[in-house]
């Protein structure tokens, strides 16, 4: 037999209830039917006896029975004897007639005589006091009345048949049957019905016992299963919670409390999914509306997996993956939610994508650099030759060429100055050298550096970069690096880091240069604004890395720009101001050459933080 579960247990209990109800109905119906059958048999016998009474005395008897002396003793005895014979032969208790006079009832014919030999029957014209109301009402009826009464003569079943004498006197022909005999038959039938019901109930006991044992086994298995589920629920590293279709929290594990920074389960159960979400999701949809859609999908399809922007109780937002699964618990349809913080995972994926972009662009950068170098070298060389031939007054070849043209080098030089040609040639040469710098950056991006690694003090590296930035930033005439406030937060006794010092300095210089440029734009709009860098150096013991942070209080960067800030050739600066290679090369130096990490955190209006992590040892 299958063990009981909550479903077939309900069916079994229902079956038992139906079975017992059927037995009780059978017992009641059987007893009722037999009782009715017995009473019908008695009532037929009583009726036949009652209608035969009028044949026991003369037709005008009740017309003459007008008072206690109107009927002779002999006639009274004659009628009494006839009624007595009827009673004995039929097994009745009494047979008699009743008349109504002056609103009183009187016996006028009876089978009972106190002294048959010497005196009139005591029940002739005997007043029936305290008569049952059915006797009084019977005078107004034309049909028999059957009653069961208990009076001073004992309990009886009585039939009352209205009759009318030739003179129009209405009288009642009555016969009594000893009800104690009938009660015995009724009791016997009831006992038989009860015995039958008990018999069939006893037959059901083995079945009930088997199913009861099965239910006990089911309960034990259920408790064990619930314990296993509860253990798994509570010890899961993922956030697990139960949600009602009405979006109310019903339960959660400790991982959920830690994830959302909530003190107790009681406090968590007072919250809703909207309390743990920002007003809008990443796609701009209202969290309240989208939450309903996600729950409805899970209930309809059985499960639903999606990403969700959650909010901790302290207000900090984070990205999460959510799996909603429809479950049945205690015959209720609920949702089990599995929530996992994927903020770091998304950052890692973004960094992987970024690295793949860097690698894909690397080959292109190398090819472009070599293709550009060849014509570039000719352009720079010819620009230098052109400058020498047009501006060098002492070169013999220049003088001879001028004389052959019937002019002098002074005249040529004057013409050049008048037409601003030296500046143009210098501009061509400067632009060529700028292209050389760009090509060199592209080559650095495309290949691993051949520079050797050595140990460096991170504090010294950063200080040297600050010195370099303060002396070379005068190229930007609109902004002086020395006007930037510098806050230094260096941990003491920082370990030496194995790196290529020049490359790390290049990275730090690029970050400082970008930050200074951004703050200069903000200062141009706000004269009261004070630009500031906060430089932090610390050690991440568990990761065995040195952490360098360059924080500015500039205009900040929006989310989309943060995602692309390390892409090659991506820049927010005006055309001609930046190439878009500085941060991409810096990212490549840190991640590829030094196996570190480089990240950016920023918020519009609140500044930007570049975080660089360098391993203490290179493998």
The CATH number assigned to the domain holding 605 equals 3.30.565.10
Per-residue H/E/C for 203-225:
HHHHHHHHHHHHHHHHHHHHHHH
More confident residue, 126 or 318: 318
Count of domains observed in the chain? 4
Q: Is the pLDDT of residue 2 over 50?
A: no
Q: Is the pLDDT of residue 257 over 70?
A: yes
Q: Report if residue 14 sits inside a domain.
A: no
- pLDDT for 481 equals 78
Whether the Cβ atoms of residue 354 and residue 567 lie closer than 8 Å to each other: yes
Take residue 140 and report the two structure tokens written for it.
């107004």
- pLDDT for 350 equals 65
Whether the Cβ atoms of residue 161 and residue 174 lie closer than 8 Å to each other: yes
pLDDT band at 211 (very low <50, low <70, confident <90, very high): low
Tokens 């303060």 correspond to 470
Q: Report if residue 264 sits inside a domain.
A: yes
Chosen domain end from 312, 341, 370: 341
Q: What is the mean pLDDT of residues 549-569?
A: 86
- pLDDT for 252 equals 87
pLDDT in tens, 269-310: 888 888 889 999 988 889 889 988 988 888 889 899 999 999
Q: Is the pLDDT of residue 579 over 60?
A: no
SS3 at position 489: strand
pLDDT band at 170 (very low <50, low <70, confident <90, very high): very high
CA distance 290 to 306: 11
Q: Report if residue 333 sits inside a domain.
A: yes
Buried-state track 153-163, b at ≥16 Cβ within 10 A, e below 16:
eeebbbbbbbe
- pLDDT for 474 equals 44
**Overall size of the chain counted in residues:** 619
DSSP letter for 272, please: B
- pLDDT for 445 equals 47
Q: Is the pLDDT of residue 173 over 90?
A: yes
CA distance 345 to 341: 8
Q: Report if residue 454 sits inside a domain.
A: yes
CA distance 220 to 231: 16
Lowest mean pLDDT among 42-46, 168-172, 354-358, 425-429: 354-358
More confident residue, 533 or 187: 533
412 and 532 belong to one structural domain: no
470 and 581 belong to one structural domain: yes
Question: Which CATH number do you get for residue 276?
Answer: 3.30.450.20
Lowest mean pLDDT among 174-188, 381-395, 399-413, 441-455: 441-455
Whether the Cβ atoms of residue 257 and residue 249 lie closer than 8 Å to each other: no
Q: Report if residue 402 sits inside a domain.
A: yes
- pLDDT for 360 equals 61
Q: What is the mean pLDDT of residues 93-104?
A: 89
Half-sphere exposure of 155 (CA within 13 A, CB side): 7
Q: What is the pTM of this model?
A: 0.38
Residue 414 CA, distance from chain mean position:
87
pLDDT band at 382 (very low <50, low <70, confident <90, very high): confident
Q: Report if residue 202 sits inside a domain.
A: no
- pLDDT for 575 equals 45
Q: Report if residue 62 sits inside a domain.
A: yes
Q: Report if residue 5 sits inside a domain.
A: no
Take residue 20 and report the two structure tokens written for it.
């017992």
Lowest mean pLDDT among 56-60, 251-255, 582-586: 582-586
SS3 at position 170: strand
The dihedral over CA atoms of 460, 462, 464, 468, expressed in degrees to the nearest 10, equals 180
82 and 143 belong to one structural domain: yes
- pLDDT for 186 equals 67
Chosen domain end from 310, 341, 372: 341
Q: What is the mean pLDDT of residues 105-120?
A: 68
Lowest mean pLDDT among 199-213, 289-303, 518-532: 199-213
Which H or E run includes 322?
A: strand 317-329
State the average pLDDT for the chain. Answer: 81
Whether the Cβ atoms of residue 157 and residue 46 lie closer than 8 Å to each other: yes
Q: What is the mean pLDDT of residues 526-551?
A: 92
Strand (E) positions, 395-507?
454-456, 485-490, 497-499
Take residue 520 and report the two structure tokens written for it.
């200069």
Strand partners of residue 272 = 248
Domain containing 73 equals 30-184
Q: What is the mean pLDDT of residues 563-573?
A: 74
Residues 6+ apart with CB under 8 A from 488: 535
Tokens 């009745």 correspond to 92
Q: Is the pLDDT of residue 358 over 80?
A: no
393 and 284 belong to one structural domain: no
The candidate with the shortest Cα–Cα distance to 93, out of 40, 148, 149, 154, is 154
More confident residue, 216 or 501: 501
pLDDT band at 597 (very low <50, low <70, confident <90, very high): very high
Q: What is the mean pLDDT of residues 434-457?
A: 66
């Amino acid at each position: 037999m299958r063990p009981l579960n909550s479903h077939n247990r309900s069916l079994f209990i229902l079956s038992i209830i139906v079975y017992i109800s059927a037995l009780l109905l059978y017992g009641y119906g059987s007893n009722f039917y037999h009782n009715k059958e017995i009473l019908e048999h008695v009532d037929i016998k009583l009726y036949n006896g009652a209608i035969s009474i009028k044949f026991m005395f003369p037709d005008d008897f009740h017309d003459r029975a007008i008072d206690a002396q109107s009927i002779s003793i002999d006639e009274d005895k004659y009628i009494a004897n006839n009624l007595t014979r009827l009673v004995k032969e039929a097994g009745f208790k009494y047979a008699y007639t009743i008349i109504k006079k002056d609103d009183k009832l009187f016996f006028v014919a009876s089978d009972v005589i106190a002294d048959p030999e010497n005196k009139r029957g005591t029940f002739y014209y005997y007043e029936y006091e305290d008569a049952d109301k059915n006797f009084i009402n019977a005078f107004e009826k034309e049909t028999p009345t059957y009653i069961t009464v208990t009076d001073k003569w004992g309990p009886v079943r009585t039939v009352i048949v209205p009759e009318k004498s030739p003179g129009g006197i209405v009288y009642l022909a009555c016969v009594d049957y000893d009800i104690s005999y009938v009660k015995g038959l009724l009791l016997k039938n009831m006992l038989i019905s009860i015995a039958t019901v008990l018999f069939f109930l006893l037959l059901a006991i083995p079945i009930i016992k088997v199913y009861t044992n099965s239910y006990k086994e089911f309960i034990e298995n259920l408790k064990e299963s619930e314990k296993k589920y509860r253990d798994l629920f509570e010890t899961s590293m993922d956030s697990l919670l139960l949600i009602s279709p009405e979006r109310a929290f019903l339960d959660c594990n400790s991982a959920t409390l830690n994830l959302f920074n909530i003190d107790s389960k009681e406090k968590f159960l007072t919250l809703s999914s909207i309390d743990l979400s920002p007003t809008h999701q990443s796609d701009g949809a209202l969290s309240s509306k989208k939450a309903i859609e996600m729950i409805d999908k899970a209930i309809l399809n059985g499960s639903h997996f999606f990403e969700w922007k959650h909010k901790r109780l302290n207000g900090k937002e984070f990205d999460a993956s959510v799996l909603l699964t429809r479950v049945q618990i205690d015959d209720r349809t609920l949702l089990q939610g599995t929530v996992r913080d994927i903020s770091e995972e998304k950052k890692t994926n973004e960094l992987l994508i970024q690295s793949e972009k860097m690698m894909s662009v690397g080959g292109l950068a190398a090819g472009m650099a070599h293709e550009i170098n060849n014509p570039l070298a000719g352009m720079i060389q010819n620009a230098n030759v052109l400058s020498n031939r047009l501006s060098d007054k002492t070169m013999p070849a220049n003088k001879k060429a001028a004389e052959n043209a019937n002019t002098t080098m002074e005249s040529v030089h004057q013409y050049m100055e008048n037409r601003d040609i030296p500046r143009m040639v210098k501009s061509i040469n400067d632009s060529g050298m700028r292209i050389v710098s760009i090509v060199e950056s592209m080559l650095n991006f495309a290949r691993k550096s051949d520079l050797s690694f050595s140990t460096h003090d991170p504090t010294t590296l950063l200080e040297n970069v600050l010195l370099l930035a303060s002396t070379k930033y005068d190229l930007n005439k609109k902004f002086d690096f020395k006007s930037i406030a510098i806050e230094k937060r260096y941990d003491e006794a920082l370990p030496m880091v194995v790196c290529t010092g020049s490359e790390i300095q290049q990275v730090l210089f690029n970050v400082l240069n970008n930050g200074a440029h951004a703050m200069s734009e903000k200062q141009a709009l706000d004269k009261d604004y004070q630009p500031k860098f906060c430089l932090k150096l610390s050690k991440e013991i568990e990761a065995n890395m040195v952490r360098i942070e360059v924080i500015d209080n500039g205009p900040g960067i929006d989310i989309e720009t943060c995602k692309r800030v390390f892409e090659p050739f991506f820049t927010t600066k005006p055309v001609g101001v930046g190439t878009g290679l500085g941060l991409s090369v810096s990212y490549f130096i840190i991640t590829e050459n030094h196996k570190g990490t480089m990240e950016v955190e920023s918020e519009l209006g609140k500044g930007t933080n570049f975080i660089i992590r360098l391993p203490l040892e290179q493998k």
